[in-house]
């Protein structure tokens, strides 16, 4: 019997990046300052951001479905494999950036800082400046708060994905003891091609719009309601059912941006700032370009390629469960979680910040 570890590819993935002068440490569970700003209504139909987020929502829904799926025979394993592998890497990356952008736009302090800058410098000057330098928006007043909210959501989302990945990794080992799963997988080449074809399409295409995915600036308070948009339990709450669980990073840990992945957070906060100024619908082509972040896309592409390589090397049915666990789930979670790193201990006090809202 072969070791499952032998299926893991040995290629090392080195993701260089653009270093940022500001990394923005944050501790989950801290109440942001200045919580009272009237939300703006979304006008003019779905923006590129609102359209893109559905692909990330579809992936997170499938993560929830996989967590509760019963795998007792070959057909159920095939269904789970299709569910985990059917996401287009480009659409998934754009959807994740969109979700992070709308999460950042829930920061009252950041939205206020953006609007104050527009009032001082002029709206057009601020919009053009953010388009020219994606790192500028995060340096505005409230940028640390917005960054912290994105990192908190990111760490929670990755934890959710990794929990399900671990379930299927353990399942792969247990399936070795079942005759149907320990049998040679028939027509494996056709199975790999099927998975490749699924990965070329957007799993969210044709889905009915969900109003809960349209988060106008400062509409939700994920720091007080973890089931709200951007909260650590949002995806479980959105899915509903009996599997709503608490998934979060340890509250005592402080997070900051990993420098080589700063561009992903830069784009999220830039789009959030444009949204705060009502500019995302005005320049859809430029916003659409911001949603496609090269390093995140490269990471997701490598995860997908590793899935295909792992499945191509698989011989037994249970090995496909391992491939899905490692590459369709865990590697994707690492791509998402790769933007965050633990803050040094001497930054913890600054990261914790105030524990009650500032008086208005």
DSSP assignment of 98-127 equals: HHHHHHHTT-HHHHHHHHHHHHHH-HHHHH
Q: Kindly tell me if the per-residue pLDDT of 72 is higher than 80.
A: yes
* 58 found inside a domain: yes
* 8 found inside a domain: no
Q: Kindly tell me if the per-residue pLDDT of 355 is higher than 50.
A: no
What pTM was computed for the model?
A: 0.84
Lowest mean pLDDT among 9-18, 92-101, 118-127, 245-254: 9-18
Q: What's 212's DSSP letter?
A: G
Q: What is the pLDDT of residues 150-196, one digit of tens each?
A: 999 999 999 999 999 999 999 999 999 999 999 999 999 999 999 99
* 4 found inside a domain: no
What are the contacts of 217-221 at 24+ separation with CB within 8 A? Answer: 217/37, 217/39, 217/40, 217/105, 217/106, 217/111, 217/272, 217/275, 217/276, 218/37, 218/38, 218/39, 218/40, 218/105, 218/106, 218/107, 218/108, 218/111, 219/39, 219/106, 220/106, 221/35, 221/106
Question: Which pLDDT score, from 0 to 100, does residue 205 have?
Answer: 66
Cα 298–Cα 87–Cα 72 angle in degrees, nearest 5: 125
* 1 found inside a domain: no
Q: Kindly tell me if the per-residue pLDDT of 227 is higher than 90.
A: yes
Compute the mean pLDDT over every residue in the chain, rounded to the nearest whole number.
Answer: 83
Question: Which pLDDT score, from 0 to 100, does residue 12 have?
Answer: 30
* 49 found inside a domain: yes
* 5 found inside a domain: no
For the chain, what percent of residues have pLDDT higher than 90?
A: 72
C-alpha distances in Å from residue 358, one per residue of 26, 30, 109, 145: 17, 13, 10, 13
Question: Which pLDDT score, from 0 to 100, does residue 31 have?
Answer: 42
pLDDT band (50, 70, 90) for residue 52 = very high
What are the contacts of 241-247 at 24+ separation with CB within 8 A? Answer: 241/68, 242/68, 243/64, 243/67, 243/68, 247/156, 247/159, 247/160, 247/163
Domain interval for residue 264 = 22-242+249-352
* 259 found inside a domain: yes
Mean pLDDT value of segment 106-114: 98
Measured distance between the N- and C-terminal CA atoms of the chain, rounded to whole angstroms = 67
For the chain, what percent of residues have pLDDT higher than 70?
A: 78
**The two structure tokens encoding residue 23:** 């990394």
Q: What is the pLDDT of residues 320-337, one digit of tens each?
A: 999 999 999 999 999 999
Where are the alpha helices (H) located in 26-104, listed in sequence order? 48-68, 74-85, 89-104
* 15 found inside a domain: no
Mean pLDDT value of segment 139-159: 95
Q: Which residue has the higher pLDDT, 241 or 168?
A: 168
* Number of compact structural domains in the chain: 1
pLDDT band (50, 70, 90) for residue 248 = very low
């Amino acid at each position: 019997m072969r070791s499952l570890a032998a299926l893991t590819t040995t290629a090392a993935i080195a993701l260089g990046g653009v270093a940022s002068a500001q990394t923005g440490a944050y501790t989950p569970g801290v109440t942001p300052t200045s919580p009272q700003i009237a939300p703006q209504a979304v006008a003019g139909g779905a923006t590129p951001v609102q359209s893109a987020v559905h692909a990330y929502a579809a992936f997170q829904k499938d993560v929830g479905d996989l967590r509760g799926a019963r795998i007792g025979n070959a057909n159920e394993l095939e269904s789970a494999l299709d569910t985990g592998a059917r996401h287009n890497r480009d659409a998934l990356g754009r959807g994740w950036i969109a979700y992070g952008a709308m999460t950042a736009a829930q920061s009252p302090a950041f939205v206020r800082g953006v609007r104050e800058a527009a009032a001082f410098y002029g709206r057009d000057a601020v919009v053009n400046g953010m388009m020219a330098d994606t790192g500028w928006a995060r340096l505005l007043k409230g940028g640390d708060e917005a960054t912290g909210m994105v990192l908190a959501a990111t760490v929670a989302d990755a934890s959710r994905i990794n929990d399900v990945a671990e379930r299927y990794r353990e399942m792969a080992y247990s399936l070795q003891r079942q005759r149907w799963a320990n049998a040679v997988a028939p027509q494996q080449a056709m199975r790999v091609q099927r998975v490749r074809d699924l990965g070329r399409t957007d799993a969210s295409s044709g889905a009915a719009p969900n109003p809960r995915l349209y988060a106008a600036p400062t509409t939700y308070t994920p720091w007080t309601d973890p089931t709200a948009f951007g909260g650590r339990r949002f995806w479980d709450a959105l899915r509903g059912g009996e599997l709503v669980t608490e998934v979060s990073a340890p509250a005592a840990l402080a997070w900051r941006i990993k420098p080589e992945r700063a561009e992903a957070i830069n784009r999220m906060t830039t789009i959030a700032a444009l949204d705060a100024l009502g500019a995302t619908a005005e320049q859809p082509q430029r916003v659409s370009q911001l949603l496609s972040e090269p390093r995140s896309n490269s990471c997701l592409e490598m995860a997908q390629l590793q899935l295909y390589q792992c499945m191509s090397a698989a011989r037994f049915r249970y090995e496909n469960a391992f491939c899905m666990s490692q590459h369709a789930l865990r590697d994707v979670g690492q791509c998402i979680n790769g933007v965050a790193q633990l803050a040094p201990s001497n930054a913890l006090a600054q990261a914790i910040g105030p524990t009650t809202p500032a008086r208005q």
